[in-house]
Every structure is written in C-alpha cells, then in structure tokens.
Amino acid sequence: MQVPAPFEYERATSVQHALELLRARGPDARLLAGGHSLLPMMKLRLAAPEFLIDIDPLAGELGYIREQDGELRVGAMTRHRALLESDAVARHATIITDAERVIADPVVRNRGTIGGALCQADPAEDLSAVCAALEATVVVRGADGDRVLTMPEFHRGPYETAVGDAEMLIEVRIPLHPVAGSAYEKVERRVGDWAVAAAGAAVRLHAGVITRAGIALTAVGAGVTSGAAEQALAGQPPSEATFAAAAELAARDCSPTTDQRGSVEYKRHLARELTLRALRTATARALRGDA
C-alpha cells in the first residue's frame, strides 16, 4: 500500500492565507493543488513535505481563462479539463488544446491544474514546453508583491522553478498575436502515459515571413526552449526546407536518455520528426487565421 509519509495539513481559504502559511512554514511547506503530480510522488516517498497547504479551495479564485490587455490570462488553478474545453484557448493557443487532449486521461484531467503542472516541473510534463513555445509569462506572488517571469526565468530544470519558499504561482499569461498559429505533437506508448517525446511550435507571421517561432521539446533533455531552431526560423519564409533545418537543430540541441520508453536514437528521431510536424501544423493554422 502506497501512503505518503506523515505531514501536517491545513486548507488555505484565500491566496493571502496560503501566502501567510507559506511564510510561517517556509521550506518545510508545499502547496497541494490538484494533487495529481505531488501525491503520487509523496506516495513513492520521493517527496515528503512536513506541512501541506491544500489550495483546492482556491479553485474558484484562481480558476479562470480570460482575454485581457492583449493576453490570454489563465489562473493557476485552472484544471486541464477547463483548458481542453475552452473555446478561447482553442482559438488563440491551439497548442494547449493539442497538448491537453493527450495529457493523462479524462479522469485525471478533471483534477490536475496548469499551475501544479508547471510548478512540479516534471521533465516529461507537457505544459512547460507549451508555455515556453508560446512565450508565456507567469505571475509569481509573494509578500512583496508580484513578479512576472518568462518561462526561461521560471523553469530552472527538472523539478525546479524560480518560485521561492514563500511564493506561489498565480497566473499564466499568453501573448496574443494577429497572425499566429501553434501546435503540439506527442508520442506516448499508451493513453495516459508520459511522453516518449513531444514538440511544440508557435509561429508568428507577417508579410509572408516568420517573425518569431517558439520551439520547445518535452522529455528529451532539451533546454526550456530550442534556441538554435528558433533562430533558424526567424526572418525566414515558411517552407519545408526551413522547417527541416530547424527540426534538425532542435534534435541536435537536446540530450535524451535511453530508458524503458525508448533509445537515445529513437527519441532524437522523434524530436526531429515531431518538431517538423508541429511547425507544419502551426504554420498552416497561422495562415488560416485559425489560432
């Protein structure tokens, strides 16, 4: 029987209350959002917080998707299911809809949250790459107010983010652009499994030229974004040759490891092929004014 190690428990009744509890208990405390990443790790004793602050009651306060000031603003407690079913997300950030379709399974998606996924920062987790490709920013709140961080600033590596001991992630902000398209491509062994590999692309076009392309990979030991691939695309007209060159750079720019999900060679092949497919779809969507 897998049961977490003992801990003290308190429910937060507001963001303010959660921050006060974090301030009081500092590094011993962890926030529990949807629980579908942290609880499994606690059951395996890979995580053993002494004090658990349950922020499930904040699902109302921090569960929202709205357009504001040229951004799509998503509350940290927004659940995967809400993201999957959102028309605004499908219209402006189709890459999120693509990813949500293949994140875990429908029952898990009823509970898991975007904030929990980003803060857990599992190397095979999808939304970190999705947000990085979209050039999203995240709002981190502490006693001294809010900090707005880019994904490269926020995501420091596997299981590590820039969120301090007495801070919490509040909101994800996705910039909106008039001619943009995005897509996510993932290979998994079966429904609900983590990615063998996945790639996200977000393309902005102006006058027939790619003004910016965000490329980010999942589960293959890549950086927060694939910088070389992004640079190869900027300023170029979209074409198969350009996409292939960028996909090659993305595949070269990662360091997958061999495990039960596949070999280094296979994962590198997927990184290249999935980047290529994501670029094709993202660009087609941008040209259709679809996303």
Partner 1 sequence: MQVTVTINGEERSADVEPRTLLVHFIRDDLDLTGTHWGCDTSNCGACVVLFDGEPLKSCTMLAATAAGHEITTVEGLAAGGELDPVQQGFIECHGQQIGFCTPGMLLTARALLDANPDPSEHEIREAISGQICRCTGYSNIVKAVRWAAENAPATTTTTTTTTGA
Site residues (vs partner 1, CB under 8 A):
1-9, 11, 32, 35-36, 39-40, 42-43, 52, 54, 56, 104-108, 110-111, 191-192
CB of 289 to partner 1, least distance (A): 28
How far is it, in rounded angstroms, from Cα 221 to Cα 26? 30
Nearer to partner 1, 171 or 188 (CB): 188
Nearer to partner 1, 108 or 287 (CB): 108
Nearer to partner 1, 32 or 251 (CB): 32
CB of 7 to partner 1, least distance (A): 6
CB of 174 to partner 1, least distance (A): 26
Distances (CA, A) of 194 to 37, 150, 190, 221, 260: 12, 25, 9, 14, 12
Nearer to partner 1, 52 or 169 (CB): 52
> Please, are residues 126 and 198 in contact by the beta-carbon 8 Å criterion?
yes
Nearer to partner 1, 80 or 280 (CB): 80
Beta strands 195-206; 209-218: pairing state: antiparallel
Dihedral angle at the C-alpha atoms of 163, 164, 167, 168, nearest 10 degrees?
Answer: 20
Q: How far apart are the first and last CA of the chain?
A: 46
CB of 34 to partner 1, least distance (A): 9
Report angle CA 105, 106, 110 to the nearest 5 degrees.
115
Closest CA relative to residue 152, chosen from 180, 131, 176, 183: 131
CB of 44 to partner 1, least distance (A): 9
